[in-house]
Structure 1
Amino acid sequence: MIDVATFHQNIKKNIINNCYVLCGNDEQTIKECVKSLVNKFVDKDFIDLNYMEFDGNSLESFEPVINACQTLPFMSDKKVVLVYRASFIEDDKGENSKISADKAFNNFCEYIGTIPDHCILIIYDVFKGKRDKPGKRINKLSKSSCVVKVDKLKGQQLENKIKVFFENRDKQIGRIELKAFCSVMDENNLSVVENEVEKLCCFTDGRDITKEDIKALFLKSSDDDIFDLVNPISNKRLKEALEVLNELIYRGEKTNHILNMIERQFTLLFKVKLGVNAKKSKEVIMKEVNVRSDYAFDMLLSQGKKFTLRQLQHAIELCINAEQKMKTSTVDEKTELELLIINAIAG
């Protein structure tokens, strides 16, 4: 089993298999792998004759696939046959709408060893869940075919891929802005990410992309508002914190929602600081606090440095006490929030 990077390196080195099994969450990346093989071996002038596709969930039998593979290519050394969304290679799939998963899988396994040299057979399956992994069937296929596991792109690979999306639209994006954009993209599906690129390009039509543009389009307003409220608290800027509170209330935010978000933010800061003090990795802490965006985590990390654990624990206790008062008495809720902020700063 290989990854996408190895797959592309092998193609450049002309290390080619006649049977590929691709699997993963990101169908667009899978399709691009297929496209790279088609572009290498199929002349676009004869693509209708030397490239055939079959819907894996609509096959009534595997015979049409075998017949396509056995037919000689036209004016070419190779032909490519694709079976897409072939869920029959997943474990415990039971019956397809047309052909049983067991029958289709067994037919495929039997045919792999007899695929002619002139044909490249590709089968791919898109995982339904983000945590899905190759099962026993796919692991079995890795012994007789080239299995490519298409994982979510990360780090420099993701940045390079997204940069191409911008370049395809004749739009330049700076290195810092590109990193900021990538950090707020949580989707495994690159098709969704490309739609977000299109949105950002339209939003900044005729001018350069800034971090403020990315923040305005892709950061959730409620999280951003609470960050803007907790930040002056952490910096002991009472006047600014009260001004942000008044602005939120003026805009129609409910006082109980503001309180819940403040408590949630302090709880996140407390958990992140505990994780850092315990020398846990960034990935482990992000999983524990259920934060997916690197950008959001970095904000929490930066903000948490301005509090001690005792101060954060005290702030959480203040939130709990304020919530009890607001639920069980007739206190002025706005005043209660103001007192919460004052006491959190006094900390």
Structure 2
Amino acid sequence: MALPKTYRAFRHSKGNTPTTLDLATEELPSSLKSNEVLIRIHAVSLNYRDVAMMHGTYPVKIIERCIPASDCAAEVVGIGSEVHDFQIGDRVAPIFDLNNIDGTEEERLVLGGDVDGVLCEYAVFDRNVLFHLPKHLSWEEAACITCAGVTAWNALDMPRSKGTALLQGTGGVSMFSLLICLGAGIRPIITSSSDQKLDLAKAIGGSDAVDTINYRDHPQWEEDALRFTNGRGVDVVVDNVGPSSIAQSLSSLARRGTVSLVGFLGGFDVDRFPDTVTPTLLKSATIRGISVGSKIDHQTLCDFLSEKDIGLRPIMDSVTFSFEESQAAFDHLWDANHMGKVVIKL
């Protein structure tokens, strides 16, 4: 396949937030370093982090005119002279944090923020930050793994987890958590303010395999979680809301359970944190901050999906966008009308 000299990429516009996406033309490198791999990107999936950055509500700085997005599925189209673990045509993706190979990194280097992301047609990466994607997934499905998938994997404390998990909402991390629960034999309880989304979640897992709670109709949702578990409580909460929900998350836990903090949909107001020490002590509970995972985690999740390939496919929103419609994809995610992962197809 003849490679072009230039390729298209979207970059954040200059100026005050909310920013927009500007289409840019980038030059393809004329040669690769010995350890580099050139990939052609076929699909990109978005995370709430991506749109929060665009709207100035994400609590980190991003580089000027950054190429957004961290999650993609790609094909190897060029390799350096010392690359032996990847071949032309392999299906790959880069890990979320380029410094996190084995979980011992001291400083983060995250795609789509600290460095340019993957909302582009081609990209070059060091071979050490790439992992092999499951062969049975489509490009669009495979693009959902990097951030949401690995976050869900770690939030559920896989592969050690068992019992019951409470999943907040029906966004990308929660729906990937649902997928993992169904494959691992963990009983999922999922919350939403939409009965339609809850019905879809039940349809995915089977009406007898998934418990649901409409938190708008049942604002004390921790009581429903206790009822579903016969008063025992859940083993893990995948908490996407943050400070405003931590008290209820702890109340819904079984003894020695875990609250995995993965999101901030309820905002970053730390003054809204209740007394977490007392219930944590009384239940011998654990509160964990989750920040995606290592390359080892990425590949372990892919191996799990490959082993459980019958019916275990990442859950995508009903609307898929073209590369030219990338701005509309960001707007769609920001409007929160999606269920599962919002995907851009190149």
Identify the TM-score tier after normalising by the shorter chain.
under 0.3
| Structure with the higher fraction of residues in helix conformation | 1
* TM-score between the two structures when normalised by the length of structure 1: 0.27
